[in-house]
Amino acid sequence: MIFRKYLIFFIVLLSLAGSKTFSQSDVFEDGEELYYEVYYSFINIGWVKFNTKKLDNDHYLCTAVLRSNDALPFVTVNFEFTSEIQIKDNNIRPLRFESKEIKQGKTSLITYHFDYDSSFIDIKKTGFEGLIEYEKRMPIYAVYQDGLSIFYYARYNYFKDYTKDVPVLFNQDSSSIEINYNIIKKDIDIGAVDYDISSLLLQGSTNYQLVFGLTGEFSGWFTSDATRIPVKAKFKVKIGNVTLELKSWQRRNWVPPKY
């Protein structure tokens, strides 16, 4: 009888250990920098760099710079994104978002200001000539992600198998991204390390067009450790597929986990 009680106790412990997830707060680290290169087939068409800065408890400033390869005259992309976010009620809540597009020394700016107390989002677009092209106040019907916070949202919420339609704001309007999470470990290789990385495969789809003409279905391989860092992603474009691959990183005592 005593043996049976201990057996049940250990079975319960094992089941809890098997279902245990990581601390979602491990996704965010002050000073994290992730650098990716973008490829169309074997052609390097650009790069993306993400930086995270902690402002105070559960309050972060995230930035991303997206550039096309200067050696390719037929592709010109120059974007800078900023998203100020707050972790509240175990969810990522954007507070302010900026999207800058730079062309020939001039800047076009889109801003979102999230006012949760009044349940409105103020959206404004200023064109390359400094004139306001678009201004709108939109009711907050859900916790919308912006064009940058969705990167952190996908990492932060990767803790179980499920499918979710995530509300997002893009091109001054509301939309959604379908995300399919899968926690079965898979191997993936990148050029930055000489071993297969233990990863989790995320798949999804969008109904709008992003920079580089990205649209439709996408796949991403996230490390299976607590950081949930994306190491590779594939996106569909009008003329084929684009690959995003992690090339370098700055994060304390972190290396991609071995498969």
Task: Please report whether residue 33 resides in a domain.
Answer: yes
Q: For residue 52, give the nearest of 167, 190, 151 by alpha carbon.
A: 151
CA distance 109 to 91: 27
C-alpha dihedral sign at 241, 244, 247, 253: negative
Task: Please report whether residue 76 resides in a domain.
Answer: yes
Task: Please report whether residue 7 resides in a domain.
Answer: no
Kindly give, in sequence order, each residue whose CB lies less than 8 Å from that of residue 221, ignoring residues fewer than 6 positions away. Answer: 186, 188, 197, 199, 200, 201, 202, 230, 231, 232, 233
Angle at 88 between CA 86 and CA 89, to 5 degrees: 160
Q: Are 231 and 243 in contact (CB under 8 A)?
A: no
Q: What is the pTM of this model?
A: 0.87
CA distance 174 to 113: 14
Q: What per-residue confidence (pLDDT) applies to 10?
A: 41
Q: Are 124 and 111 in contact (CB under 8 A)?
A: yes
Task: Please report whether residue 236 resides in a domain.
Answer: yes
Q: What per-residue confidence (pLDDT) applies to 214?
A: 57
Q: What per-residue confidence (pLDDT) applies to 23?
A: 55
Q: What is the pLDDT along the chain (259 residues), one digit of tens a residue?
A: 544 444 444 444 444 333 344 456 689 999 999 999 999 888 999 999 999 999 998 999 999 999 999 888 777 889 999 999 999 888 999 999 999 999 999 999 999 999 999 999 999 999 999 999 999 999 998 999 998 999 999 999 998 899 999 999 877 788 888 999 999 999 999 999 999 999 999 998 877 665 545 567 889 999 999 999 999 999 877 667 889 999 999 999 999 999 9
Task: Please report whether residue 259 resides in a domain.
Answer: no
Q: For residue 147, give the nearest of 117, 175, 122 by alpha carbon.
A: 175
Q: Are 45 and 242 in contact (CB under 8 A)?
A: yes
Task: Please report whether residue 11 resides in a domain.
Answer: no
Q: Which helix (H) or strand (E) holds 153?
A: helix 149-156
Give the CATH number for residue 228: 2.50.20
Mean pLDDT of the chain: 87
Residue 88, CA distances (Å) to 31, 79, 103, 179, 183 in order: 21, 28, 37, 21, 24
- CA 73 from chain centre, in angstroms, equals 28
Task: Please report whether residue 165 resides in a domain.
Answer: yes
Q: What per-residue confidence (pLDDT) applies to 75?
A: 73
Q: How many domains does the chain have?
A: 1
* Cβ atoms within 10 Å, residue 224: 20
Gyration radius from the chain CA atoms: 20
The domain containing residue 94 runs over which residues? Answer: 22-250
Burial (0-12, 13-18, 19+ Cβ within 10 Å), 129: exposed
Task: Please report whether residue 5 resides in a domain.
Answer: no
Go through 30-42 and write b for each residue having 16 or more CB atoms within 10 A of its CB, e for each that does not: eebebbbbbbbee
CA distance 202 to 219: 6
Q: What per-residue confidence (pLDDT) applies to 2?
A: 46
Structure tokens that stand for 181 in this block: 């999470």
Q: What per-residue confidence (pLDDT) applies to 211?
A: 52
Q: What per-residue confidence (pLDDT) applies to 102?
A: 95
